[in-house]
A and B are shown apart, each in its own frame.
Chain A
Amino acid sequence: MRAVFSGIIHILTHLRLSGSKRLIFLSAILFFRFVAAEQLPIENLLERSYLDDYYSNVIYGYRIITETEKYGARYTGNSLRCSNCHLDAGRRRDAIPLNVAGMYPKWRSKNGRRNGIGLRIRECFVYSLDGIMPPEDAPEVMAISAYISYLSHGETIGEAPEGRGVPTIPDTGYDPNPASGKAIYDQKCAACHGKGGVGIPTIPPLWGIDSYNEAAGMADVKRAAGFIWANMPLGQERTLSHQDALDVAAYINIQIRPGDPRKYKLLKLLESVSGIFSR
């Protein structure tokens, strides 16, 4: 990059342009340098009649994220969509954005293994979507990988992008209290998610057989609280206090939900099979 710039400056000195003209020329070059490198927004890609293998996979991945029940149905077990947590199809910061391709492979304590982006995606299907694990080379996994690397364009490899994951709630000095969480839930959340947490079409269920299972990332109270504090209620983000967010998260996560597939094997199987027939 530096070599390119020094080259351009060198040419400019030879062109003998005046100072202001030189500035305009340089900014024009910079503009084209970055705008040309900018990727097409997904809405433009959607309008195209023909896409090559990469971009058609990006679009397929986008569709799986936003319409999981239609495009990702093969491996999902509940009625959640990826974009229920990865808000704005994984493009909103502090809502578990998906521009994280540069951070993999990395070691995760969850499974005690070195995780590639593929394994990370496959585990999302098992835990958050409470479904079955897709094979490594499943077209769905490939498509979501393509979409993630599309979103990660411009990020630095090995560095966490800004607004990655959810914000960490600072220590409030109090334990999360599900009882006060219920009061806040009934007042602020139940209007959309329903008293029983079952959700309505386009609003995800928060607990019950159609929600994420006990091993999902959201089943962790601190992480759920961070998500709720930063993104909920939709349109009035960051209006809850930190303690309120912790209480609501605790209330949601003490409810009944599908079991951990690593713990209850036979029960999990029966639960999944019964879940299939209720679809």
Chain B
Amino acid sequence: MALNRLPEVLPWHPRNSTNINYSSELFGALIGAILVIPQGITFAYLAGLPPEYGIYTSIFVTLFASLFGTSSMLGGPNTAVAILIGVAVAPYAGRGSPLYIDYVLMLSFMVGIIQLLIWLLRGGRFFMYLSPAAITGITTGVGLILVLSSLDGILGLSTSGTLFFFQKLYLLFDDAENLVNPYSFSVGVVTVVTGLVARHYKTRYAILIAIAAGYLCGLLEMAQFPHVDMELELLGYLPITPLPLSHPPVGTEYLLVGLSMLPDAIIISLIGLAQSMVIVKHLRSDTDQPIQPDKEVFAQGMANLLAPFFSSFAGSGSFNRTAVNQSLNIKTPLAGIVSSGIVLVVILVLGPVLTYLPMAVISGTLFLVGIGMIKTDEIRRLTTWRGELAVFAVTLLSIIFVGLQTGLVVALVLSVLLFVLSASRLELQVEHEAVSVRIRVEGHLFYASIDQLSQLLKRHRSENVILDLSVVSYLDLSATEAIAKELTNRNNKQTFFAIQLSSPRLQAQFENRMLGEPVQFIQQTQT
């Protein structure tokens, strides 16, 4: 068992991919590196960590996810995962304190272990059940959370407390002139407006343009007003080291807290994998890369398992950076591997420049990312089908009102439920023929759907019945038992009952379970 899994755990090698276009891969790596730096800083802020941890995450999680992966998917810091980390660890320690960082590292390690367990159990395919409607609901909900949490930084609110959103809005309306810091507000507005305008011209680099504009606005303010009076929150110097070794904490006290964080760890690993698997699904259908979904699960698990040893927190696949990658015609994990190296070089050069970046700019980019996640055209498309719309709406509402974790669980349950509901619906057609009634069945015949059929059979008890199961590919025990029961209730002397099946295998299965009742089979006629 261990040996035949060996190819799955080996890191990527250039010989795994054919026809590597090195120049486009390297260019894609550069673009990916430039795009990930603001994301890393922003998502570290979301997770309640010092910004350098976000940078390390965008270096090392990207590196390991690509190194063990098979596709051009870029890993790294992720919005939903970062929010969930912040929510999970906040009850145990103050944001950004040493104990908090220890707990985040431990949580990331747990996430890695759980994802590797999912890989061992071949659980990757279960994420294909997450319906597109639920995913749209999750991204919309996360987008709204981002927009609301960005208000703290844009308006310069001093409380980083987790207020319920309408409490926050009420406080703002009630006491705006005392709460809102005009300096950070103007910087935030410049960032957001520039980003929204730039999106129409240069969609891909809109965030970078917005950051440059916000930074400039902040510098102008700092040249005009004393820093002490403005209370404009700045990013500060990033103490970046090329090899930031750390380790998840050990000890019985940590173990106890770890156990109480286990549900959060499970949710985070599920949502991380779910997002990565959605990207993998897209890439598999759109490109001809040699992608193995199971290996991608392994890559995500390894990346998160190794993250706490390099001062990083858990991440997952990134939608927007992978999309950029795809538009640049990247086909191998090489781009991700090189990109992490470029991030390190760029941040060592650029780090000092970022010291005076106002935090309002970071919050402005959060706002832009949040707005970008609310995709109105996708939501409008959902309105055409009621079931999908219900899944979307319930997911969104529970994320907003109950919390992200609950919303994710609801989304998972609802998607599975929707699938089960649609699978248990039978298409029944009754055709009256010369001497008999032909009942054509389409769908899966199993315990949940059999009732529909047996009700129909009951109604035609006094007639000759041909049960046409030729397009049914799945029959379970309770379905055959129900049909057998129906046979015993029929008057077999005067009417006849025949079953048409699609394959001899099903017929054998049927005969085994018929409890000795005589039944007539009609062989599939070749047409």
Contact = CB atoms under 8 A, between A and B. Distances in A.
Interface in B447-464: none
A143 B160 CA distance: 17
A134 interface: yes
B260 interface: no
Contact of B237 (A59, A76, A137, A138): A76
Contact of A266 (B158, B223, B249, B251): B223
A117 to B, nearest CB: 16
Interface in A33-79: 49-53, 56-57, 59-60, 70, 73-76
B352 A57 contact: no
B228 A276 contact: no
A123 B228 contact: yes
Interface in A129-161: 132-139, 142-143
Interface stretch (B14-22, B34-42, B90-98, B471-479): B90-98
Contacts of B160: 137
Q: How large is the interface on A (under 10, 10 to 19, 20 to 34, 35 or more residues)?
A: 35 or more
A229 to B, nearest CB: 30
Interface in B65-121: 92-100
Contacts of A279: 237, 352
Contacts of B97: 53, 56-57, 60, 139, 142-143
Contacts of A132: 227, 234, 236, 355-356
B512 interface: no
A56 B239 contact: no
B99 A276 contact: no
Given A53-B97, A143-B97, A265 B352 contact: no
A60 B93 CA distance: 13
A81 B137 CA distance: 50
Given A52-B99, A76-B237, A277-B352, A265 B224 contact: yes
Contacts of B228: 111, 123, 126, 133, 261-262
A30 interface: no
Nearest to A76: B237
Interface string B225-261: 1111101011011110000000001111110000000
B236 A75 contact: yes
A23 interface: no
Contacts of B94: 53, 57, 139, 142
Interface residues of B, number: 39
Contact of B50 (A70, A139, A262): A139
Nearest to B99: A56
Given A52-B99, A56-B97, A74 B356 contact: no
B96 A73 contact: no
A272 interface: yes
Given A74-B236, A133-B231, A60 B226 contact: no
A273 interface: yes
A134 B356 contact: no
Given A53-B93, A56-B98, A75 B237 contact: yes
B219 interface: yes
A143 B98 CA distance: 9
Contacts of B231: 133, 135
B219 A53 contact: no
Contact of B236 (A57, A134, A137, A143): A134
B98 A59 contact: yes
Contacts of A262: 226, 228-229
B208 interface: no
Interface string A249-279: 0000000000001110110110011001101
A153 to B, nearest CB: 20
B279 interface: no
A276 B352 CA distance: 6
A51 B224 CA distance: 44
Contacts of A52: 99
B222 interface: yes
22 contacts: A49-B251, A50-B251, A50-B254, A53-B93, A56-B93, A56-B97, A57-B97, A57-B99, A73-B237, A75-B236, A75-B237, A126-B227, A133-B228, A139-B50, A139-B96, A142-B94, A142-B97, A262-B228, A265-B222, A269-B356, A276-B355, A279-B237
Given A50-B253, A74-B236, A269-B356, 14 more contacts: A56-B93, A57-B99, A73-B239, A76-B237, A132-B236, A133-B227, A135-B158, A138-B96, A143-B98, A263-B226, A265-B225, A272-B356, A279-B237, A279-B352
Q: When A and B form their complex, which 3 residue pairs have the shortest distance between CB atoms, in order from nearest? A: A139-B96, A74-B236, A266-B223
